[in-house]
Structure 1
Amino acid sequence: MPGRLGLLAFRGDLPALVVAANPDVHVVTFEGVAAEVAPTSGQPARFEKMGAVIKALKAAGVDRLVMAGALARPPLDAKRLDLTTMAFAPKLMAALKQGDDGLLRAVIGFFEGHGLRVVGVHDVVPDLTAAPGLLAGRAPDKAALADADRAAAILAALAPLDLGQGAVVAGGLCLGIETLQGTDAMLAGVTATEPAKRPKAPGVLVKLPKAGQDLRVDMPAIGPGTVEAAARAGLAGIVIAAGQVLLIDRPGIVAAAEAAGLFVLARAV
């Protein structure tokens, strides 16, 4: 019989969605991270004390663990590391040099090495991803689909470098690539691009995971804010990878797209 679900809750709306869909979930938050859900213990944990986190999860009957929300790489106080975290530190330091994918794989390995099976948010919250098809707006024309193909090709070429999960292409020209600053910053850059430097085609935002990315953590996501930012950037629509991009507030995404006259399309990859 499966045990209890545990949640490491970080910033944003995702942790609350996990709690709503799994009322018995054991929630862990961390000092310095403004999570929007309360920890089950009543007190936030520390990243330097992962041994205590593991102990608390197991005492609560947790055997599955989901990580949800945004997290910048936290500063660690080496003087406060417990023995469990200290033993993991060399692997963590090596992983920090490998980019986000390497870091996340190391973190997954740490928890699974302590008997906690890591699952994805989409595994515990229904309807967070989309099947192939048009989610909102009118079907994109051939030019928009060609721009989407070009953006996907750019992201595929950059995947070995462990860069971002989004790109904007208009008229075959790349207007932006998501980096550490995230999708909103990329779209703000597109918005600020001088009109004389932009082609006549409005352009398309494509969001998809990097090749080989572990989708249990750091799955790409869009929300109503993404749609609104794409509209401000003058784009025609958004193309996402079917089944591999989280939809944060699907009704809100659809409503924002319809209001702005944008399409949202999920494509198999």
Structure 2
Amino acid sequence: MTARADQGRLAIIAGSGMLPVYVAEAARASGENPVILPLLHEADQRWEGFDTAPMGVGDVAGLARNVKQFGIDRVVMSGGVRKRPAFRDIHVNFAFLRKLPHAVRTLLSGGDDAVLKMVIGLIESQGCRVIGAHEIVPQLLAERGPLGAHAPTEDDRRDILKAAQAADALGRLDVGQGAVSVGGRIVALEGVEGTDRMLTRVADLRAEGRISARRKGVLVKLCKPQQDIRADLPTIGLSTVENAAKAGLAGIAVQAGRALLLQRQETLHRADALGIFICGIDPEDGETPW
């Protein structure tokens, strides 16, 4: 991606984790001069050398001011957000008012995908175009096939198929993106707690003898079928590998072209050292998704 002279500035709404840093560095390397909008109580990185304007998760009026002040015309949403804004944290402007009833209903009862689509609509109502993090850092996308030194066995492939079916069903319900299968049995589904805490739950179940010690199992993460891929693509990194190993799993499968692999070299080296495979799959391919 190369900045054009007739473009406005790119804004990066930064939640927690390293993804916003990768996006900012890649954008700058391509000739952009990005503005960082760190989310209060969520963003956890330092932003020396960048123009920054911290804002609350629900501060639509603040976003509108930043759009005008910095000449922003494109926005990337990146990083984790643990909590939805409370109603008292929503600060509106005129362009937002007619969307307020729908936004409140979505925040109260919608799944994560519904909330993200609502947020994208609110950003676009301020005159900005929302683009995906993968458009700026395509090198983070997982490719199809084994990505490290280890590959899934036939037993692992059966677990991949089973967990992929569960993750797809879970995604259609707008609940989560991940599932764990051990010996062809679904033992965990990702909810609002996120992948790492789900894996901790699997480790606890194994320690309690609720999961067979003889069978390893697989974590699969897929993009939700109805998901807007401009936000919240499935993401794995070092912590995912560490927690998968603690849970006694054989490996991790993610959707090729629709999942991000953070700290790629470090993550793959650690997976290799722990004997964990990481592979990209295409769930549309049925019996041979890899």
The TM-score range, normalised by the shorter chain, is over 0.9
Question: Structure 2 CA distance, aligned partners of 1:252 and 1:3?
Answer: 35
Q: Name the SS of the counterpart of 1:228 in structure 2.
A: helix
- Report which stretch shifted further, 76-85 or 248-257: 76-85
**Native 8 Å contact 2:172 2:226 kept in 1:** no
Aligned to 1:232: 246
Question: Structure 2 CA distance, aligned partners of 1:147 and 1:47?
Answer: 38
Following superposition, the deviation at residue 87 of structure 1 comes to 4.2
Aligned to 2:41: 32
Q: Deviations over 1:88-146 (max 9, x none)?
A: 32121122222111111111111123321101111112311022121113221111000
Gap runs ≥5 in structure 1: none
Q: Which residue type is aligned with residue 27 of structure 1?
A: I
Following superposition, the deviation at residue 84 of structure 1 comes to 4.4
Gap runs ≥5 in structure 2: 1-5, 284-290
Aligned to 1:204: 218
Aligned to 1:70: 80
State, as a whole percentage, how many aligned pairs show the same letter. 36
Alignment of 1:162-177 (within 5 A): 162-177=174-189
Q: Deviations over 1:135-180 (max 9, x none)?
A: 1132211110000100011122222321111111010111211110
Question: Structure 1 CA distance, aligned partners of 2:177 and 2:64?
Answer: 31
Query: Are 2:201 and 1:189 aligned?
Result: yes
Query: Are 2:163 and 1:154 aligned?
Result: no
**TM-score, normalization: structure 1?**
0.92
Match of 1:221 among 227, 231, 235: 235
Following superposition, the deviation at residue 79 of structure 1 comes to 8.7
- Report which stretch shifted further, 114-123 or 153-162: 153-162
**CA RMSD between the two structures:** 2.0
Q: Paired residues, what number?
A: 269
Match of 1:51 among 61, 64, 68: 61
Q: Could you list the structure 1 runs, at least 4 aligned residues long, displaced by more than 6 angstroms after superposition.
A: none
Q: Name the SS of the counterpart of 1:174 in structure 2.
A: strand
Question: Structure 2 CA distance, aligned partners of 1:75 and 1:250?
Answer: 35
Q: Name the SS of the counterpart of 2:114 in structure 1.
A: helix
Question: Structure 2 CA distance, aligned partners of 1:211 and 1:137?
Answer: 30
Q: Which residue type is aligned with residue 102 of structure 2?
A: K
In structure 2, relative to structure 1, the CA distance for the partners of 1:79 and 1:135 (3 Å cut) is closer
Q: Name the SS of the counterpart of 2:188 in structure 1.
A: strand
Question: Structure 2 CA distance, aligned partners of 1:32 and 1:234?
Answer: 33
Question: Structure 2 CA distance, aligned partners of 1:80 and 1:241?
Answer: 37
Query: Are 2:157 and 1:145 aligned?
Result: yes
**Native 8 Å contact 2:23 2:136 kept in 1:** yes
Q: Which residue type is aligned with residue 211 of structure 2?
A: R
Question: Structure 1 CA distance, aligned partners of 2:56 and 2:195?
Answer: 29
Query: Are 2:150 and 1:112 aligned?
Result: no
Q: Name the SS of the counterpart of 1:22 in structure 2.
A: helix
